[in-house]
Amino acid sequence: MTPRKAPRPLDGRLYTDPAVFSEEIERIFSRMWVCGGRLEELDEPGSFVTRELGGESMIAVRTAAAGNVAGSNGNGAAADAGHGLAAFFNVCRHRGARVVDHCAGRTKVFQCPYHAWTYGLDGRLVGAPHMGRDFDAAGAGLVPVRIAAMNGFFFLSLEADGPPLSEVAADLPDLSRFTLDRLVRGDRREYEAQANWKILCENYNECYHCAVVHPELNRVSDYRNGGNLEYGRYYVGGPMTLNDGCNTMTATGRSDRPDLPAIEVADRTSVQYYHVYPNLLISLHRDYVVTHTLWPIEAGRTRIVCEWLFDPDTAVAPGFDPSDAVDFWHLVNSQDWDVCARTQLGVASRGYSPTAYEESEACLQVFGGWYLDQMGL
């Protein structure tokens, strides 16, 4: 497959126009599978999280232990049959009040704080005070959102009739050697960048800026060490080689953590970087994995959740300390959000007139082409 490549950087209005942002939510984020986070956030029946996207609030919940659920509930809500998951719009069916305020928690039922309509974990309406015998409770459950699991992550889709997540999975590179489904979270940080989500994606997908913006990173992996471009319908990315004497991404370039059990020899001297469209950025090291999930708030503002994942045996070993990886990427993140905010200011100027990509920005050309295709431009 030969991807369409953007001939030059995108026009400034595509990063700043509220009307374009609204269209992106409809054409991209509402139609595609969006990474919601790690399955370990939904670790037992009744555990739930909420996610905000384009003005929509969604509830994701574990309804039962993995493997012990049917494929759909009484409302026809799509559930993940293998993982005991369900998801719903966070909207009461009575008069539209938001049902859940908390970002995460555990519960036996969801009860609307307005009129006490109560819903089971499967979304069915189980209580509606004084509604009478003629009321059709069976047709008044929470409105479903599609949910599915892949590689230890859960994904959400607002498109009721869209393609299955398996279609995305079949397109992605084989990352099974990193055992993503069994990794556990060592740390989690949330950020808010004053920049458009595409600026953050573009920044992640090139290292042309690394020598200037990330001197600490460049000492570990030179900005000219990029490998072959990889891409598909749902992703773009590729490897970068570590500098001589380095074996992972930390301030010193080294760590004595054990390798992830199934990695290949080449993984000991490189890092794999992939952007899974639209909102998952995943960086795979020999001893840990870093993920960024992007949540667009408005044209010039994006929430980012960054998580550090480790082999579970390593994470429970005496003396386990993820701070070398966490501190390193927290520094890199902070540097990136600053330069992305600078870019957001620049693309809003009438003086912004984009010229050409540099040779090492091949991923940006592919991402730009994908974006233009999605938007019908």
pLDDT in tens, 8-55: 999 999 999 999 999 999 999 999 999 999 999 999 999 999 999 999
pLDDT at 232: 96
* CATH code at 172-375: 3.90.380.10
pLDDT over 60 at 77, yes or no? no
In 123-172, alpha helices (H): 165-171
Q: Does domain 33-158 have CATH number 1.10.3720.10?
A: no
**Averaged pLDDT of the chain:** 94
pLDDT at 3: 80
pLDDT at 79: 55
- SS3 of 358, please? coil
Q: How confident is the model at residue 72 (pLDDT cuts 50, 70, 90)?
A: very low
**Neighbouring-strand partners of residue 53:** 56
Q: How confident is the model at residue 168 (pLDDT cuts 50, 70, 90)?
A: very high
pLDDT at 214: 98
Average pLDDT over residues 124-147: 96
Average pLDDT over residues 231-260: 97
Report pLDDT digits (tens) over 108-134.
999 999 999 999 999 999 999 999 989
Nearest CA among 229, 283, 202 for reference residue 1: 229
Strands 184-193 and 125-127: unpaired
pLDDT at 211: 97
Task: Determine the Cα–Cα distance for residues 120 and 16; give it in Å rounded to an integer.
Answer: 41
Average pLDDT over residues 187-209: 98
Report pLDDT digits (tens) over 306-351.
999 999 999 999 999 999 999 999 999 999 999 999 999 999 999 9
Task: Determine the Cα–Cα distance for residues 59 and 87; give it in Å rounded to an integer.
Answer: 5
User: Are 205 and 275 contacting, i.e. CB atoms less than 8 angstroms apart?
Assistant: yes
pLDDT > 90: percent of the chain? 92
pLDDT at 74: 33
Q: How confident is the model at residue 216 (pLDDT cuts 50, 70, 90)?
A: very high
Q: What is the pTM of this model?
A: 0.94
Q: How confident is the model at residue 65 (pLDDT cuts 50, 70, 90)?
A: confident
Task: Determine the Cα–Cα distance for residues 134 and 323; give it in Å rounded to an integer.
Answer: 60
Q: What are the extents of the domains in the chain?
A: 33-158, 172-375
pLDDT over 50 at 251, yes or no? yes
Q: How confident is the model at residue 82 (pLDDT cuts 50, 70, 90)?
A: low
Average pLDDT over residues 173-183: 97
In the chain, alpha helices (H): 13-16, 18-24, 165-171, 197-204, 210-213, 215-218, 312-315, 323-347, 362-375
Q: How confident is the model at residue 80 (pLDDT cuts 50, 70, 90)?
A: low
User: Are 370 and 234 contacting, i.e. CB atoms less than 8 angstroms apart?
Assistant: no
